[in-house]
Amino acid sequence: MPERRVVITGLGGLCSVGHNMAEIWDGILNGQSGIRRIVSFDPSPFRTQIAGEVRDWDVTDHIDRKEARRLDPFCHYAVVTAEEAIAESGLLDTDLDLERVGVLVGSGIGGIRTIEEQHQKLLNGGPSRVSPFIVPMMIGDMAAGAISIRHGFQGPNWGLVSACATGAHALGEAYHVIHRGDADVMIAGGTEACVTPLAVAGFSSMKALSTCNDEPERASRPFDATRDGFVLAEGAATLVLETLEHALARGADIKAELIGYGASGDGHHITSPPADGNGAVKAIQRGLAHAGISPADVQYINAHGTSTVMNDRIETLAIRTVFGDAANQVAVSSTKSLTGHTLGAAGALESAFCVKSIEDGMIPATFNYQEPDPNCDLDIVPNKSRKVDVNVAINMNFGFGGHNAVVVFRKYNGE
């Protein structure tokens, strides 16, 4: 089979910074933080009382009320961002073979809000009070299922789970579906609606979350010496991937090309990466090798950059191990400084930022950077976004369980 090149033709996003990709990208470039005190429940008893919530957004502005009631919010986010991405791609304006369009959308923890709410109904009212929709509402594959059902897409369809690497894995695996010829188009991404009492309590008990409750907008400060944990956040991003041939045949606007994907496992610990960053190193090396490029070819890395002490230090080490002297020339930033950490959606949302950086020639900054950490000695684009002609950008995501994923994007040159 001849090589099937994969391009990006549509983006959709929703997070604490904005309700669509244009709003989000403008906010990201201009330092607009979406992190605030939690309003969806009373956070007063919690050690951490801040998060990146999707606010002032009504799903029924986008989805019929009856349909919305049968889906958990993580599915709401996925369906709506898919609508945006598909609309931007112009996919439905063509004579589309629905059997050649697949969906791969993942979620780190799926319908946790439904689980919490329905469990409370069970405790308060007994089994008869539990919704007959609880199972389809809570299972993590239902975001992909809902998108497929809504549009009648009949190609490969599933969800995957790899914690905070989920969104990046979804894009990489969707790339492989197209590359091996099982589909011409894949709707791919990640989604998370995780700002719930149980999730906040759980991450807080691990002491993984920032406790900067008095200054929520400064709480997420990746690579800064004073960082004290990540900020939990929710949202989603969906990308339309298709073969170059398919995109050209229908006259699509090509935003970027997906040229590489690398994945690895730490084989080390349920939450902590190995001290030498070997798992991340392997994923980066595999992604670059798959793309057929060298470290010197990369202008921008959207880092995992969670704002935890260990993650940022080991990620820096991994980048320096792979890039060597080229690490001093590549710009590295963490947009989690504004969005917070959207868990299973992060890889998709931050990949969308990579595509936008290529498209617009802008590298977003790492905001809230004030005190340098000698263990994080990269060019992290501090506090001000930078105009750069970006030809190659990569996104890196690492998840609990030792899951590592790297996706590589390149400017489409018209060939």
Catalytic residues: 164, 304, 341
Using CA atoms, how far residue 209 sits from 47, 222, 390, in Å, is: 9, 13, 33
- The residues near 265 (Cβ < 8 Å, ≥ 6 apart) are 279, 402, 403, 404
Residue 295 is given by DSSP the state G
Nearest-angstrom CA–CA distance, 67 and 65? 5
Phi, psi of 364 (to 5 degrees): -70, 150
Nearest-angstrom CA–CA distance, 184 and 179? 9
Give the helix, strand, coil percentages of the chain, each rounded to 5.
40, 20, 40
- Three-state secondary structure call for residue 218: helix
Nearest-angstrom CA–CA distance, 248 and 257? 13
Residue bearing tokens 């309700």: 19
Terminal-residue alpha carbon distance, the chain: 19
Contact 251, 89 (CB under 8 A): no
Contact 376, 313 (CB under 8 A): yes
Tell which residue, 5, 91, 47, 24, has the closest CA to residue 414.
Answer: 5
- Three-state secondary structure call for residue 105: strand
Using CA atoms, how far residue 301 sits from 129, 350, 362, 393, in Å, is: 49, 10, 12, 6
Nearest-angstrom CA–CA distance, 286 and 263? 7
Contact 410, 291 (CB under 8 A): yes
